[in-house]
Structure 1
């Protein structure tokens, strides 16, 4: 059985998907962009990474868990050369043991974003 997760503290989905789904004591989030609740995208990659992680945190809290319970993240970058900048922001949101992570460059992101971050967490 699965349960939808929705919070007004993060941007609404911009398509036919949920902010997150709970299934089998796990939370699977959709990718979070660096935009505010009104859908306004931040400018720099650092600002977008910060806001994307804040949005991720808000979705997880609504689901009943925390960033400390994340087991895996995927970071999508419009430009892999931004990896170091994003990594500096990313590191502020996690404690050891850090979640497993993949970081990849993609051809394009929704709304021409510079970064998108998704996660899987334990409830």
Structure 2
């Protein structure tokens, strides 16, 4: 097994340290895994994480922006994403989420990433979590 490709943590300036021992993103070689992101507004020193919203649109757009900032900090973009996982708290949000998702990715040049959507419980006030896997180069 080769050890010449270091694993590096990726943390954009908009993000606070994770609440447990994990990284917002991890890059190893040309692979970048973005941890599940939620709709927190960009970090402000001395202030607890604050979710966008409370509406689905605000949270989805902020969550996608947060995933995007990790991708960019790791040297990638949505064009490099091969897999996106979406975690919704309410099955009733699926149609609206798809509209927002399609609108967000309307300008994507290449094929869209594969996607899985599952339904989960999230901390109070959070409606969506999204992660992504990107392959660069």
Q: Normalising to structure 1: TM-score of the pair? A: 0.90
Q: Which has the larger radius of gyration?
A: 2
The RMSD of aligned alpha carbons is 1.5
Shift in Å, 1:11:
4.7
Aligned residues of 2:51 and 2:125 also touching (Cα < 8 A): no
Matched, 1:69 2:83: no
Asked if structure 2 preserves the Cα contact closer than 8 Å seen for 1:11 and 1:35, the reply is no
- Structure 2 gaps of 5+ residues are 1-5, 44-48
Cα deviation digits, residues 85-116 of structure 1 (max 9, x gap): 1112212333241100000111x113441000
Structure number with the higher helix fraction is: 1
Distance in 2 (alpha carbons) for counterparts of 1:30 and 1:104: 16
SS at match of 2:117: strand
Tell me the equivalent position of 2:3: none
Partners of 1:45 and 1:114 within 8 A in 2: yes
Aligned equivalents of 2:28, 2:103: Cα separation in 1 = 28
User: Once the 2 structures are TM-superposed, how far is the Cα of residue 76 of structure 1 from its aligned partner?
Assistant: 0.1
**Runs of 4 or more above 6 Å deviation:** none
Cα gap change, 1:11 to 1:103, in 2 (>3 Å): farther
Query: 1:15-94 counterparts in 2 under 5 A?
Result: 15-38=20-43, 39-42=49-52, 43-94=54-105
Cα distance in 2 between the residues matched to 1:110 and 1:20: 21
SS at match of 2:20: coil
Q: Structure 1: which 5+ residue stretches go unaligned?
A: none
111 and 59 in structure 1: CA distance in 2 versus 1, 3 angstrom threshold: farther
